[in-house]
Amino acid sequence: MMTKIILLGILWSAFSISITFAAATKRLYQKYQNLCHDQPTIKARHEKGLQWLFKNIGETQITSRTSPQHEAACWMFRQSSAWNPQRYVMAVIYYATKGGSRWEFSDNWMVASKHECTWYGVKCNLMRQVVELDLGYIEADGLVPREIGLLKNLKDIDLHGNELQGVIPLKIMVGNTKLEYLRLHMNGLFGAIHKEIKNMKGLKELYLFGNYIAGTIPKELASLKQLEIVDLYANQLTGTIPSELAKIPNLKYLDVHDNNLVGTMPKEICAKKLVALIADCHGKKPEVKCDCCTVCCEGMPNMICVDQKTGKRVDRPI
């Protein structure tokens, strides 16, 4: 008899928990039915989308009516009852970089009848998963949204030549592990290069030049065995050039000039005999001592780069 009572108690507890969970789930869309200030009101069919948003984006961002995350969520809820995380992320990119007011090219973007794979600068694979984001030189402004890190199949991010500010989101380093090309050069980005860049095991080319990136060059770059090009010139990097970079087996091009780096080019890097090795090693008092560089540069007030083989001045070392 006692065993039956215990079993009934367990079953009743499980039933109560399921009822409570169902009620909590139901309350979610009811609580936020006025999330968007205009029609349509959030309904039960939007529950899946709300759950995904609160889990992956956060309540604060979604409920703030001035955030691009909120704008993208409401756009999704207005246009369709089906929840599509990829489409949502693309909408965040548009709103976060002022697509409606600044972009020079935005063909098909935010057109409800057009699949996101047809939007300007977007390429997808056969599964209609976004693999390339080519939005260079479109006059994008604002911040690089961390939601890009949710596009797990991305192989190429090109946002160069815009007016983007802020830091490079950590979530990109952690989430876009299949990335092969990262082009964020010629923007207004600042902050440090996260050591979590080591997660991008397939990265082949890294272009961050022409920003305001500070801190040191992360030695974690050494774990990126596919890396061929590292272009960090014209930033605010400090410290010395880490010898660990010599452990990158495929490295061919390293440009670190026009920074605040000091010391001597590591002999391990010199031994690799790179196709191009460029540093601030020109002038009477070079910031970096380098006998193996292919091009040596000097900063203000002279602003000059010299080919070490020919002795001729070069405008943009390549």
Say if residues 170 and 195 touch (Cβ distance below 8 Å). no
pLDDT of residue 272: 96
The string of pLDDT tens digits covering residues 239-251 is: 999 999 999 999 9
Hey, where are the domains in the chain?
Answer: 35-83
pLDDT of residue 25: 45
**Mean pLDDT within 161-180:** 97
The string of pLDDT tens digits covering residues 7-45 is: 445 444 544 444 444 444 456 788 898 899 876 788 888
Indicate the pLDDT class of residue 300, thresholds 50, 70 and 90.
Answer: confident
What residue ranges in the chain does DSSP mark as E strands? Answer: 122-124, 130-134, 141-143, 156-158, 163-167, 181-183, 188-191, 205-207, 212-213, 229-231, 238-239, 253-255, 260-261, 263-264, 276-279, 288-289, 295-298, 304-307
pLDDT of residue 20: 42
pLDDT of residue 299: 82
Per the prediction, the chain carries an average pLDDT of 91
**Mean pLDDT within 93-120:** 96
Q: Is the pLDDT of residue 222 over 90?
A: yes
pLDDT of residue 43: 87
Task: Tell me which range, 37-41, 82-86, 227-231, is most confidently predicted by mean pLDDT.
Answer: 227-231
**Mean pLDDT within 275-291:** 95
Q: Is the pLDDT of residue 208 over 50?
A: yes
pLDDT of residue 316: 62
The string of pLDDT tens digits covering residues 256-273 is: 999 999 999 999 999 999
Q: Is the pLDDT of residue 201 over 80?
A: yes
pLDDT of residue 73: 95
- Sequence-ordered list of residues with C-beta below 8 angstroms from that of 47, at least 6 positions apart, any chain: 25, 26, 28, 29
